[in-house]
Chain A
Amino acid sequence: MEPMDIVGKSKEDASLPKATMTKIIKEMLPPDVRVARDAQDLLIECCVEFINLISSESNEVCSREDKRTIAPEHVIKALQVLGFSDYIEEVYAAYEQHKLETMDSLKGGKWSNGAEMTEEEAAAEQQRMFAEARARMNGGLPTPKPSNQDPRSKVSSVKQTHFFPSPT
């Protein structure tokens, strides 16, 4: 490789991680199918180019609406304009799903959703474990707190001051 090539390529530094992309590509195909390395590279380049394209259009959509930040709605509009309307339904579903998940983690998992229940379940499990440990401790060993013993001894001494000695 010429030095000039390397300098040129460093300008387009940001690419997508090859391992993740390869995984996505392979999941689409039957297990025995191979993907040539140059094909993988081209697919990754295409994806980057796709992001460039949609970004540019989203930027335009955003400007036209006089907004300062590119929002998901602008991206969805861009997809529509560029002929990728087929993607919109799934993209929107993923976005909604993410919104739900973010809300759940902010509110400490109070919404009933299988994944978010783990915190509550874990906390409950922890409480059960503590209670069990406490029970084991109280049952097998004498209570360490002196304040508990005193009233008991007082009670027993009160009993002993009866006229008729009570059998101990």
Chain B
Amino acid sequence: MRQAGTYSGILTGGISRRTGPHSLPLARIKKIMKRSGDDVKMISGEAPIVFSKACELFIEELTQRSWMITMQGKRRTLHKEDVASAIVATDIFDFLVNLVLESQQQQQVDGASARYGFIYN
């Protein structure tokens, strides 16, 4: 069909606009929500959508704060330590401090085993 190009163009334009706000997979988010506690209630179909947007905003804030620390160090590569510093410096990210400590401990263990040949469980 000669006019197929215009037709599919209209279709593609419509679809790409719609996928804008919800980039994160809603099913995956729902899965994580269900595992977050022992007796999690039923989750409405719309709740993951709200989560998806909140996650995006969260990642943006954490990334930006980490990036500011990277810039302070006059570097162009964002490292794990920058993220860790951003977490420690921000009050509302207190819930992430354990993650940072765990990863630091893991790094120490990996470093030690590399140096001394021990294998920690």
Chain A interface (Cβ within 8 Å of chain B)?
Answer: 2, 4, 12, 14-17, 20-21, 23-25, 28-29, 32-36, 38-39, 41-43, 45-56, 58-59, 62-63, 67-72, 74-76, 79, 82-84, 86-87, 90-91, 94-95, 97-99, 101, 114-118, 121-122, 125-126, 129
Contact with A along B12-36 (1 / 0, CB 8 A): 0110011001111100110111011
In the complex, the chain A residue whose C-beta lies closest to that of B70 is A33
Given A46-B83, A54-B51, A125-B3, decide whether A87 and B58 contact each other with a Cβ distance below 8 A. yes
CB pair A33 B42 closer than 8 Å: no
In the complex, the chain B residue whose C-beta lies closest to that of A27 is B60
Among B54, B60, B84, point to the contact of A28 (Cβ < 8 A): B60
CB pair B121 A4 closer than 8 Å: yes
Known: A36-B79, A91-B50, A114-B17. 20 other contacts (CB 8 A): A16-B55, A20-B23, A33-B76, A36-B78, A39-B66, A42-B80, A46-B59, A50-B96, A51-B32, A53-B36, A68-B42, A69-B43, A70-B44, A72-B49, A75-B50, A84-B54, A87-B53, A94-B49, A95-B50, A101-B18
CB pair B64 A118 closer than 8 Å: no
Among A46, A53, A59, A71, point to the contact of B40 (Cβ < 8 A): A59
Once the chains are docked, how many angstroms separate the CA of A140 from the CA of B50? 58
A159 to chain B, nearest CB (A): 43
The verdict on B62 contacting chain A, using a C-beta distance below 8 Å, is yes
For this complex, 18 residue pairs linking A to B, each with C-beta atoms less than 8 Å apart, are A16-B25, A17-B28, A32-B76, A39-B78, A42-B80, A47-B58, A50-B96, A51-B55, A53-B95, A63-B41, A70-B43, A70-B47, A72-B50, A87-B53, A90-B53, A99-B46, A101-B18, A118-B13
Among A32, A68, A75, point to the contact of B54 (Cβ < 8 A): A75
In the complex, the chain A residue whose C-beta lies closest to that of B11 is A118
In the complex, the chain B residue whose C-beta lies closest to that of A26 is B63
Once the chains are docked, how many angstroms separate the CA of A63 from the CA of B39? 11
In the complex, the chain A residue whose C-beta lies closest to that of B56 is A24
Interface majority SS (helix, strand, loop, mixed), chain A: helix
Given A75-B51, A84-B54, A98-B21, decide whether A55 and B3 contact each other with a Cβ distance below 8 A. no
CB pair A28 B64 closer than 8 Å: yes
Contacts of B99 in A (CB 8 A): 42, 45-46, 49
A106 to chain B, nearest CB (A): 13
Contacts of A63 in B (CB 8 A): 41
CB pair B80 A39 closer than 8 Å: yes
CB pair A17 B54 closer than 8 Å: no
Once the chains are docked, how many angstroms separate the CA of A114 from the CA of B91? 42
Once the chains are docked, how many angstroms separate the CA of A127 from the CA of B31? 44
